[in-house]
């Protein structure tokens, strides 16, 4: 059979399956209650063309027509979308147990070691084991407090690099933030920095790593036709699977080198001298931890992959968005500086112990998470069994997408939802008690329920401390004399919400000179 004939044969099968599925729906009324409303799907590919290049925008627009609980047919897959806080709570709180697994997808298969990681692992004993390891050894309150000095030291290196940059040339703030967060996490996970001296200046490895992480997030955010029309999976019409395999090979080489070097150090100096996470993971290869059994090398690499990608770029991107918003809103920036000057003063840097007193700074972070959630469409979940939500039938096997971006901009929940207004989270504001930890569904940047982001506590600390330090230690000028009013705030869609244009700035030190060298 020729290649063209095989393609036509696959398309014919896909059309046949689509027609058979719809005929069964019409003749046998397979659902006891109606599905949620939604746009009419196209033959074979369903509603995939309706998603466009910015799916979180397109789905939000469709929800204004069809309602906050919507049904889409992507290829042969039923997809339900939650686009309001109340509907999201139904899925992620009331029916959380039923939606605790992930649907099959090419990203988990080709990048995340075939579902061997924490993010995409099926809900069950192995997932609970991986979650427990992270919760105890990396993200517990004790672990976070024990490594507080690491975060503060890496941020001190960042401030020195920014102070040295001066006005000579604009700096790519997002790149430097990524180096800082990666090195902070690397010291906790591996016991050493990933990138040189931490300044990020001219480090090609740091540039390459950032590019790899961004490419991963872009590819993982693509709605791959092969995931929804199985007969076309082999064809890889968008080239997504091929790119994922190549990217996986690069990440695997990076992680293999880390793992092998660490094993040598671990065996030569003894486990008792190691306090980093990777040493703990290596020890768990021979000592089963809980109900999930022993760890394998692949599971260790998959877990490191999750932590190095989800644990670095999301934090650095959020801080980049926060600084961009503050540059655009000088009155808010001035108020934040006033708070920091009164609590911290001009003769030292911000520390984590200061954060609890920085009420306005915390409101700025919440507002940044609201307008610029790091994951605009939640990672997909799958219905283990059929259920009913708001009177509509949700079939077994349906994929759930929560439009976090749309929920946080819902005019029924927020006054002036498109405006950057941190005061909404202060006493007297519209949401003074709202939190971002998964309990208030109007703003859930980390998700909610059983599959809430495992690194939420670390992410919050890192974002708060970085933003507070940058606001306190520097004044900011945009590159090339650009005016704040014309700053590009466009989004580049991926699994995480990147800026379309990097934030290029001139930092101007505003504290006593010795602070930057301490």
Annotated binding-site residue numbers for heme? 453
Q: How far apart are CA 117 and CA 130, in angstroms?
A: 8
Closest CA to 367 of 412, 428, 408: 408
- Whole-number CA gyration radius for the chain: 24
In a 13 Å sphere around the CA of 395, the CA atoms on its Cβ side amount to 18
**Residue 268, Cα to own-chain centre: how many angstroms?**
37
The neighbour count for residue 78, using CB atoms within 10 Å, is 21
The answer to whether residues 409 and 421 touch, using CB atoms and an 8 Å cutoff, is no
Q: How many helices (H) and strands (E) are present in the chain, helices listed first? A: 18, 11
The answer to whether residues 461 and 351 touch, using CB atoms and an 8 Å cutoff, is no
Question: What phi and psi values does residue 461 have, to the nearest 5 degrees?
Answer: -65, -45
Binding residues: 453
> DSSP assignment of 399-451, as one string?
EEEEBHHHHTT-TTTSSSTTS--GGGGSTTSSSTT--SSSSSTT--TT--STT
Q: What is the 3-state secondary structure (H, E, C) of 465-499?
A: HHHHHHHHHEEEEEHHHCCHHHCCCCEECCCCCEE
Q: How far apart are CA 489 and CA 87, in angstroms?
A: 29
Q: In which residue are the tokens 């931490």 written?
A: 198
The answer to whether residues 185 and 308 touch, using CB atoms and an 8 Å cutoff, is yes
Cβ contacts of 122 within 8 Å, gap of 6 or more: 101, 102, 115
The answer to whether residues 406 and 443 touch, using CB atoms and an 8 Å cutoff, is no
């Amino acid at each position: 059979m020729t290649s063209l004939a095989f393609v036509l044969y696959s398309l014919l099968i896909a059309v046949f399956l689509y027609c058979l599925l719809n005929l069964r729906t019409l003749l046998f009324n397979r659902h006891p209650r109606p599905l949620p409303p939604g746009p009419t799907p196209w033959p074979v590919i369903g509603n995939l063309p309706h998603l466009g290049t910015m799916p979180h925008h397109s789905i939000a627009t469709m929800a204004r027509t069809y309602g906050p609980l919507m049904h889409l047919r992507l290829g042969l897959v039923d997809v339900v979308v939650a686009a309001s806080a109340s509907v999201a709570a139904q899925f992620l709180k009331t029916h959380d147990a039923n939606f605790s697994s992930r649907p099959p997808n090419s990203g988990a298969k080709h990048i995340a070691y075939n579902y061997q990681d924490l993010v995409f692992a099926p809900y069950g004993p192995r997932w609970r084991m991986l979650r427990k390891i992270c919760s105890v050894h990396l993200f517990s309150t004790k672990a976070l407090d024990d490594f507080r000095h690491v975060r503060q030291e890496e941020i001190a290196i960042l401030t020195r690099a920014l102070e040295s940059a001066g006005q000579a040339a604009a700096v790519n703030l997002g790149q430097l933030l990524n180096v800082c967060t990666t090195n902070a996490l690397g010291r906790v996970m591996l016991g050493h920095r990933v990138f040189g001296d931490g300044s990020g200046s001219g480090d090609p490895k740091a540039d390459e790593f950032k590019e790899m992480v961004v490419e991963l997030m872009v590819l993982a955010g693509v709605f791959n036709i092969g995931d929804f029309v199985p007969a076309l999976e082999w064809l890889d019409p968008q080239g997504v699977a091929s790119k994922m395999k190549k990217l996986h090979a690069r990440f695997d080489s990076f992680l293999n080198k880390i793992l092998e070097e660490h094993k040598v150090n671990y065996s030569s100096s003894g486990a008792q001298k190691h306090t980093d996470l990777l040493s703990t993971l290596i020890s768990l290869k021979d000592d089963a931890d809980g109900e999930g059994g022993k760890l394998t090398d692949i599971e260790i690499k998959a877990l490191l992959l999750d932590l190095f990608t989800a644990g670095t770029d999301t934090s650095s991107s959020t801080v980049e968005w926060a600084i961009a918003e503050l540059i655009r809103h000088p009155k808010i920036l001035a108020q934040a500086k006033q708070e920091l000057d009164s609590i911290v003063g001009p003769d030292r840097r911000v520390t984590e112990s200061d954060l609890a007193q920085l009420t306005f700074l915390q409101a700025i972070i919440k507002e940044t998470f609201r307008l610029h959630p790091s994951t605009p469409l939640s990672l997909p979940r799958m219905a283990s069994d059929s259920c009913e939500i708001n009177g509509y039938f949700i079939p077994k096997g349906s994929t759930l997408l929560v439009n976090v971006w749309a929920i946080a901009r819902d005019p029924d929940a927020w006054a002036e939802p498109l405006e950057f207004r941190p005061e909404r989270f202060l006493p007297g504001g519209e949401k003074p008690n709202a939190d971002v930890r998964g309990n208030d569904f109007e703003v859930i940047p980390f998700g909610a329920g059983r599959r809430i982001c495992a690194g939420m506590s670390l992410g919050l600390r890192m974002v708060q401390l970085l933003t507070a330090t940058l606001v306190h230690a520097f004044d900011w000028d945009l590159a090339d004399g650009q005016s704040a009013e014309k700053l590009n705030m466009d989004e580049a869609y991926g699994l995480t919400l990147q800026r379309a244009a990097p934030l290029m700035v001139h930092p101007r030190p505003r504290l006593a000179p010795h602070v930057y060298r301490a």
